[in-house]
Structure formats: C-alpha cells, structure tokens
Amino acid sequence: MGRRRKGIKIDGWLVIDKPLGKTSSNVVGKVKFLTKAQKVGHGGTLDPLASGILPIGLGEATKTMPYIVDASKEYEFTVEWGSATDSDDREGAVIHSGGHIPTEEDILAVLPSFTGTIEQIPPAYSAIKVDGQRAYKLARSGETVELKPRSVEIQSLTLVSHDAENKCSSFHVGCGKGTYIRSIGRDMALKLGTWAHVIVLRRTRVGPFGLEQAISLEKLEQLSHSAPAAEYIHPVVTALDDILVLAITETETKDIMYGRSIQCPKTKQGTFVLMAGETPVAIAEAEDGIIRPLRVFNM
C-alpha cells in the first residue's frame, strides 16, 4: 500500500487576490497552512511587486494546472515616464533618467504597434533560464544577461488615464501566456523616444478567474477560524471551461479509471473532459474513434 497523504482531501480552485510583497510560493504555503489541503499549487507566478489574481489549485485541480498557466490574462499597470531601471519596475536601480514625458496623443498613436503578435525581449530580472540559471539570479550577481526576443500575443492594450504632471500613465492589457508587462512599458517608451518603468502592476483575470471570484488571504484566515471557505472553492472543471465535455457510461468510467482506452467511433478528434454525471473522470484525447485518458481524476 502507498503511504497515506497527510492533510484534508480538498479538490478545487481557490482564487487568491495576492497582496503586494508576497511571492507566489509564500501564498501557496499560507493557503496550505490555512486549508490543511493535501496538495496545493499555483497557476502562474505573480511577481512580489504585483498584486491580483493568483489561482490556487487544491488536490485534483492541480492536474488541470497547465490549462490555467496557458490561459489568457488581463492586467492593469501604470508606468512612470522619463526614467528606466535595470529591472523595468520600481524595484531596480535607475539606469536612465531625464527622458521626456509623452503626450496622450503620442501614446495613443503607438498602441496599435503593441497589439497582435509582437516580438518582446523579457526583462533581465525574469525567471527565464540562461545556461541553466535563472536570469534574475545572474542579473543580481552583476552579470550581463542577454535574452532572445520571443513572440507573444497582445489581444488588447488601452490607455486608461494619462497624468503628465505626475509623469505617469495607466493601461489595461489582455494578453496570452509568456507576456511580460514590464517589457511592454519599457518598449512603448523606447518607441516614443524616452524611458519608462512599471510602478504598479495588478493582474485582474486569469482564464475563467476574475477579481469578482477572488478572496484575500486575510479573509481566508478569518474563515478558517470560524466558517468553512467551501463557498470560495470552485470546481476542478472550472479550469477546463474551453474544453468540450463528453458523457461516459459507468463501464467506460471504470476502464478510464484503470488507464484503459475506450471506443467511441462518432467522437470528433480532439481533447475532451470525460464526465460521469456531474463528476469529472479524466482529461482525454480522441483520435480515430479511440479515446485515451491523459489525466485521470481521483474524485
């Protein structure tokens, strides 16, 4: 027999409104302590200097983590014009100053060039690996970090407000995975012939999860002392909203649970969530009438 996992079996998603100053790992540790869940993981890292949506997978929800990590995201961010830092945010050391403050008209004129599929060089202070080491560790040790451009998808980029007197502008962006908001602020400034760095960054949506579903760590702690936080835990399949659902029989469920493929000649090719009534059974791949389980849930 396998060793019994410690903790309470909780399966689902908690959407945490991460506060400033905490790492994503800090939040995972706090959630695990407060919920006593057997297994906990986060869906997409959020910088310590950023706040907002951090989806936390509990139990079987961790098996759907890749779908949240790859999901589209939305952010609100503010840049300060006229100066640049080595981290592209307010944490770093100033490396350029004295740049001009662009007008609202100039900013609006460059926004279209930062939508669609664009090339972007990640910040030196990022988690990308260079020769087996994290870029931010190399940068902090004084080494020059050269990162290659990468393609990212910017679905929308809008100017929310512009305050020339205080040298800052605020934006809303919708983007695909792997996008660095700090790079957007830096590159917009360069296109405008000046410098900038991000001073405020807040993630407002990750896939199906928005601020309206989020709970603060303080609220979660209060609930752990009084009432259960069950009302804030979203079903495992919430992360799979974009995937087609296929109902299977009791016999087919047993086959899938044992890792066996099942036949379904009329099923189209693609990825499916297999359901036995209201219970998710597996994420599966269909090809040539054969459905093969990829991730089986123990619900």
CA distances in angstroms from 173 to 114, 115, 159, listed in the order given:
10, 9, 9
**Sequence-separated (6 or more) residues with CB below 8 Å from residue 213:** 15, 232, 234
Ordered strands of the 262-263 beta sheet:
244-247, 270-276, 279-287, 290-296, 262-263
CA distances in angstroms from 257 to 26, 194, 261, listed in the order given:
34, 58, 10
Query: Which residues carry out catalysis?
Result: 47
DSSP H stretches of helix in the chain? 24-35, 65-69, 104-110, 135-140, 181-191, 217-225, 250-257
CA distances in angstroms from 162 to 88, 134, 195, listed in the order given:
19, 35, 16
Hey, CA dihedral for 118, 174, 11, 33, is it positive or negative? positive
How far apart, in whole angstroms, are the C-alpha atoms of residue 169 and residue 82? 12
Within its chain, how far is the Cα of 5 from the centroid?
27
How far apart, in whole angstroms, are the C-alpha atoms of residue 202 and residue 155? 17
